[in-house]
Structure 1
Amino acid sequence: MLWVNFLHFYQPPTQKKYWVDKITEESYRKIVDHLLQNENAKLTLNVSAVLCELWDTYGHHDVINKIRTLLERGQIELTGSAKYHPLLPKLPDSEIKRQIYLNELSLYKYFGIEGPILSKKYQDGGQISLKGFFPPEMAYSSHLARIVGELGYRWILAEELSYAYEFGKIDFSRLYKVKGTDLIIFFRDRYSSFKVLSGQLATSKLFLEEFKEKGTSGKYFLTAMDGETFGHHRPGLDKTLAEIYRDKSIDPKKISELLELPFEICEVETLPATWALMEIDITSGVPFARWDDPDNIIHKMQWDLTYLAIECVNRSSFSGLKDEELSKLSEFEVEKYKKARNLLDRSLHSDQFWWASAKPWWSLEMIERGAKELSDVVDTAPDSTEKDKEKARKFYFDIITTGFEWQRTGKVDETSRKYDEEIKMVVDKDLSKYSKKDVLEMVDRLTKEMNELSGNLEFERATQLRNRIKELLVFIDKNYAD
């Protein structure tokens, strides 16, 4: 089985130390340790530059060093991305390019890797070059692809629905190129990725049985998901991942290695999509619904505030000046501009929009934090007018009060429940393909993990597994006769 696996490591710039420590311990460190213990294991990895900075700040230097070791061994490759995890198709071109450049700077600092922008700038030949690009949230548009290609990246990763708004249309015996460019586009296998990240394949045996026809007969098999899936969202699944990589029937590859194989390359028209796109969003014609829903007034205000902040920073007379030019100007005003510019970079992260969707995810804390950051950008930018500042403060107030109203009136609960049930229906529908014995094996594996966690006093994570075990037992009672 020719298997190409992609993992995304990311935490928002606003993330608290508790969560960085917890998720690093439960997922990131475990994954890299499993890889170090098996030199045959390979994958393509996106490590967000802002997460590297959080690791640096909170003392997780061992994870950075282990990733560097895996790079030196050739077991992993890193991809380019946008430093602060914005939804790139919604940003102006200048902000897209800046976010990609900032990400390259950080990856060079932590791993000694040069991306195509830095290679052109310094012409000093980094040890390892970034060939591929991962757009945060897998938020893809053909316009973004053109920018990524022009910057010098060789390939981009996208959701399979960016090929066609139907599932199962990708021919994985071919490679694809974005029409009108030289940029290769790799599509993830949506169904297979979901089977893994939803925790349905809790053993390596189930994984191999489910996908025995994939990645064979001249085809490859590409999965992509968040790194937190393994160990944090799905306790114990990191061990399953390690088991899969130990199986001799698996031939793991990095995405860029597919370029070296004799696949036919076909040019293709592409569509906007994300890896969270659902059929209801396709029907509604809203490809970025979790971040930009035209029926969500909070989203509208968030984006209006975002564009106001971008305008205020880029309107500044300091915008576009090089460091040597800035050094000749008023130190106080220059520092104000640099502070506003840095605040804007950080505040463009996609999380604030995601948590305002209530589909099914909702966090008023994350919404407030994002709105406050953007409002602070406008307050700090040296050329912001009083009208700009008042407008930003009003957006902030209206976003928060609307969020409270949604909670008070039950709108959040109603919307969240609807989408939560829709996701659960998809999971349970797929479970029906398995025998009772297979599902009982899942229960047995999860029970062992739960008991291990309880023994380590990790009761919160043990409770997650207990709830999943209960769901599986209810499913067995409803769907299998004795």
Structure 2
Amino acid sequence: MLNIGLLLHFYQPSTQFSETLRKITLRSYEPLLTLFEEFPEAKFTVNLTGSLLDLWEQSGRGDIINRWRAILNQGNIEVVGTAKYHPLLFKLPSGEVERQILLQEAVLKRLLNLSKPLGFFPPEMGYSRVTAEVISKLGYRWVLLDRSARLGTDFPSTPEVSRETNSIYNLPIKVVFRDPNLSYKIAFAEVRSLKNFKKVIDPLTDQNGHIVLAMDAETFGWHRRTQMNLLRSFLKADKKRASSFKLLNISRIVEDSSLGAELEPLDSTWGFFRETAAGVRVFPRWDNPENPVHNLQWRLLKLAIEASSLEPEGSTARSFLDQGEQSDQFWWASADPCWLPPMVKAGTDLLEKSILSSSRASLEQKKEATRLALEIIDVGQEKFGKKSKRC
């Protein structure tokens, strides 16, 4: 029997357009909730980001939150920890990393009455040693990383069954690796039916191990409308035990797996990377040294952290900074292939407002913030054009 851990990542940035949020909720999130209600015995793992929970609350969709609370009270779906506003944790100082994680824990407690989760999902699956140290310090027992954190490649050619989990070197935390091959096949609708899925995994089922899959929740119904039917067929087969696989929470997989050797995972994300001559991994979707917009964005974020990170809890400047650390503005500025000026500007505006409203920022810092904010948009439009380029 092959055990499958399936993590669905529910996330929207705090700057998401209200109409886009409405459509995604209608086509993806609400149908997924209906599936969870129809198959209450199904074992899933989900990442419910605080920024999305806040958006539902602010837009009057308390009914969505109430449905989540009822589903989670049944105890079959587990929620992992994450960073509330979806920053690239390996690009932040450790104090900001810890703050983002604690903000997420607070919103899970306030809206869903959840205590600290066992597992952790880093936004964009972005990982570094410093990230692991903070997660471990805060008491998480396992972290989900992409398989590229263990391998020297960002896209292995075949799915891989594991029989063990590993601990991170010299830290009391385990690491679980997502299988990118099969995750991508589902996310990009190369696998569209239970028959297709079985064709991929049947040769692996005699290995008596596990595969962990992780993908955006919007895969089902929003990005790929046909994939909601695929998920339903998974749940039917799992309920009837009519297949050679079984769905389990990832925490259960960690608990049941033997413990392998200690590892020192490599810096990684879910996206592709390249290595410099010095062997340093670069992740061009978010931080491309050859992209002048990225360089300006990271300068602005660094300035905002310097100016506003010590602002009092609840202050306007601190709130803008928390939200402005989001990864989306960098993704949409990559132009490889995504270029969405309104989302780039939305993230830029948050960081500029954080600095301009900071009581600790100097006049020079405020002038520099305004200059950088203007330059980010001007350089982006000059290099990539004024029109959006969707992924």
TM-score (norm 2): 0.92
Matched, 1:405 2:382: yes
Answer yes or no: is the 8 Å Cα contact 2:49–2:84 preserved in 1: yes
Matched, 1:310 2:287: no
From 134, 138, 141, the counterpart of 2:121: 134
Amino acid paired to 2:341: L
From 260, 264, 289, the counterpart of 1:269: 264
Between Structure 1 and Structure 2, the one with more helix by share is 1
1:184-242: per-residue Cα shift (whole Å, max 9, x none)?
11100010101100111111111111221335432101110000000000012112101
SS at the partner of 2:261? strand
From 349, 358, 361, the counterpart of 2:335: 358
Match of 2:115 in 1: 114
Matched, 1:85 2:86: yes
Q: Name stretches of at least 5 consecutive residues in structure 1 with no aligned partner.
A: 116-129, 324-334, 421-482
User: Any residues of structure 2 matched to 1:44-63 within 5 Å, and which?
Assistant: 44-63=45-64
Offset at residue 408 of structure 1 (A):
4.1
Matched, 1:384 2:361: yes
Offset at residue 262 of structure 1 (A):
4.5
Q: Over aligned residues, Cα RMSD in angstroms?
A: 2.1
SS at the partner of 1:186? strand
Answer yes or no: is the 8 Å Cα contact 1:9–1:228 preserved in 2: yes
CA distance in 2 between partners of 1:282 and 1:6 (Å)? 28
SS at the partner of 1:306? helix
Matched, 1:186 2:176: yes
Match of 2:235 in 1: 245
SS at the partner of 1:175? strand
Offset at residue 145 of structure 1 (A):
0.8
Amino acid paired to 2:377: I
Matched, 1:349 2:320: no
Offset at residue 38 of structure 1 (A):
1.4
Answer yes or no: is the 8 Å Cα contact 1:165–1:282 preserved in 2: no
Answer yes or no: is the 8 Å Cα contact 2:161–2:204 preserved in 1: no
Match of 2:41 in 1: 40
SS at the partner of 1:114? coil
Deviation beyond 6 Å, 4+ runs, structure 1: none
CA distance in 1 between partners of 2:171 and 2:161 (Å)? 20
From 191, 199, 207, the counterpart of 1:217: 207
* More displaced 10-residue stretch of structure 1: 70-79 or 42-51: 70-79
CA distance in 1 between partners of 2:150 and 2:269 (Å)? 12
SS at the partner of 2:132? helix
CA distance in 2 between partners of 1:283 and 1:202 (Å)? 37
Matched, 1:297 2:297: no
CA distance in 2 between partners of 1:58 and 1:409 (Å)? 30
Match of 2:348 in 1: 371
Answer yes or no: is the 8 Å Cα contact 1:27–1:231 preserved in 2: yes
Distance 1:164 1:230, change over 3 A: same
1:268-293: per-residue Cα shift (whole Å, max 9, x none)?
12101111125xx2578544221111
User: Any residues of structure 2 matched to 1:88-167 within 5 Å, and which?
Assistant: 88-115=89-116, 130-166=117-153, 167=156
- Structure with larger Rg: 1
Amino acid paired to 1:48: T
Amino acid paired to 2:188: S
CA distance in 1 between partners of 2:289 and 2:296 (Å)? 11
Match of 2:19 in 1: 18
Match of 1:76 in 2: 77
Matched, 1:259 2:227: no
User: Any residues of structure 2 matched to 1:427-442 within 5 Å, and which?
Assistant: none
Match of 2:32 in 1: 31
Answer yes or no: is the 8 Å Cα contact 1:272–1:287 preserved in 2: no
Offset at residue 171 of structure 1 (A):
5.7
User: Any residues of structure 2 matched to 1:202-213 within 5 Å, and which?
Assistant: 202-213=192-203
Answer yes or no: is the 8 Å Cα contact 1:214–1:221 preserved in 2: no
Aligned length: 380
CA distance in 1 between partners of 2:276 and 2:11 (Å)? 30
Identity of aligned residues (%): 34
- Structure with higher RCO (Cα < 8 A, 6+ apart): 2
CA distance in 2 between partners of 1:303 and 1:251 (Å)? 43
Offset at residue 260 of structure 1 (A):
2.7
SS at the partner of 2:97? helix
SS at the partner of 1:212? helix
Answer yes or no: is the 8 Å Cα contact 1:43–1:75 preserved in 2: yes
